[in-house]
Structure 1
Amino acid sequence: MTALNPRQKAAHVIISLGADVASGIFKHLKEDDIEKVTYEITRQDVVMPRLSEQVVEEFYGLCVAQKVYLEGGVSYAKNVLEKAFGVQQGTALLDRVTKTMRTKAFEFIRKADYKNLMNMIINEHPQTIALILSYARADQASAIISELPMEVGLDVIERIAKMDRTSPGIIRQVEHILESRFAAVEAVDLLDVGGINYIAEIINNIDRGKEKMIFDELNIRDPKLSEEIRKRMFVFED
């Protein structure tokens, strides 16, 4: 396919859908996005049928990928997409959708003051705290982990470091509950999930005294994990 930027691809899809459908789509777009897409549409003097067909096929694939991902989770989506589009294209579609969904999930907590966030999650199970902090900003997560009881903080650190993929259904459920709690609080300050790199960045922002205590305990509980986190921390510092 000829290299097209996202706005050019959007223009091809809009043209292919026709004026009636396009007008309905425009109602859901921001003014700035409408202007950009409209500009690209006006530049399409000649629409190449094969190119438009390829763009629409890609768009359709992404729509299907997002639908099955949200309805059935990662494993189900992977199975459906690979059967529908083949292993290579199915995997690529799933990767694009999961990255997009990650940036959207828990967006409201990244705008919150860490103290408000901590008050909301302090009594949750460590696995739930780990999931939420995996979507928080690193400075928020660092501040919260620093103020958690040592045993709970270590448990959360381990769970974030070992976290891989979580069911979209569980993420939506936790996100909905947490967002409802924030909605009830008046003083909210309106801004890779988990893994070794992320927890290394978090601990890099924790004061050295607390950091030493964390590693002293982590060396006892999981020496290999402790060493791996230390290695990644040096990378971030460099």
Structure 2
Amino acid sequence: MAATRAIATRSGNSDSDSEMTNYSDGPMMLDSMTGPQRAAVILLILGEDHGRVIWQEFDDEEIRIITRAMAELGTVDADQVEKLMLDFVGRLSSAGAITGSFDRTISLLEKILPTDQVALIMEEIRGPAGRNMWQKLGNIDAVVLANFLKNEYPQTIAVILSRIRPDHSANVLRNLPNELSIEVVGRMLRMEAVQKEALDHIENTLRTEFVSTLTQTRRRDPHEMMAEIFNGFDRQTEMRFLAALDATNQESAERIRALMFTFEDLGKLDSAGLQTMMRQVDKDTLARALKGANEEMRAFFLGAMSQRAAKVLQDDMQGLGPLRLKEVDEAQMKMVTLAKDLAEKGEIIISKGNAEDELVY
């Protein structure tokens, strides 16, 4: 099926109305056949029973192209049909196992398509997941999408929001300016069937002006990425790398330190967040984490417990005996990870300073 699809799409000019030739006046030669015409011959030979599973693999546009080629095919002599089938089977048998990759795909496309077109296609693949443009939009943050759409015509916004998931449309509407969102709702209520040409135009605009540049516009500060990596280091490794950075690029080292979320930052939890954390954390993990913590952090957590519970925890810490620094680091990292998970769920708010420095995960 993949080979038939490849033959069907191999010719770049197969979809052009002006370049499609009607060969009904004479027999067609194999060398002059376009990809869709070759596919049409194969599908005619396979017939209804054997060809059904192949037809089901095509999308609407591919079916339109191949059926038109089939309708205008005309006569193909038996010897040309035989050559075509031998060529087709030869391609299948000689292909063997294949491996697809991002780099191989780019290399292949650059030999067939213009460089800028290849870049656009591959950038879209790198972007938000989804099989088509509307699914991709459904995976884009509602605030980002609303900020892009707020400069579009209300009718265009209405068409776009009518094509994506209702819950995502609701979030986008919530982030549009009030008057604009009301206008869009009205347009959506009055909307009739949208012509395919209009949808294609909107889809192409979104692809070239928005989705294809989304990766660049949302590119993260490399210091944020390195801070997350440093958060995963044990203490000795972290200190080694930061000391090396201090010697070569002190500004970067300071920025990474400021962006890192550490065990000590848990001391900035508010009372409600601390209680939520205490209910969720494993008691053995807490004991190991506090065993190697400074007195301020110990007092912070013990102060959130009843006297009896605090006494039990202190006894547990005493009973652990000497711990390796690695064990303490692992326990403290578990608590940091738990805090981030709770923050992502909206159950706590974590910060690295004053209220303006709140971290959103």
Report the TM-score, using the length of structure 1 for normalisation.
0.38
Query: Bigger relative contact order, structure 1 or 2, given CA contacts below 8 A and separation 6+?
Result: 1
Whichever structure has more helix as a proportion of its residues is: 1
Report the TM-score, using the length of structure 2 for normalisation.
0.27
Please tell me whether Structure 1 or Structure 2 has the larger radius of gyration of its CA atoms: 2
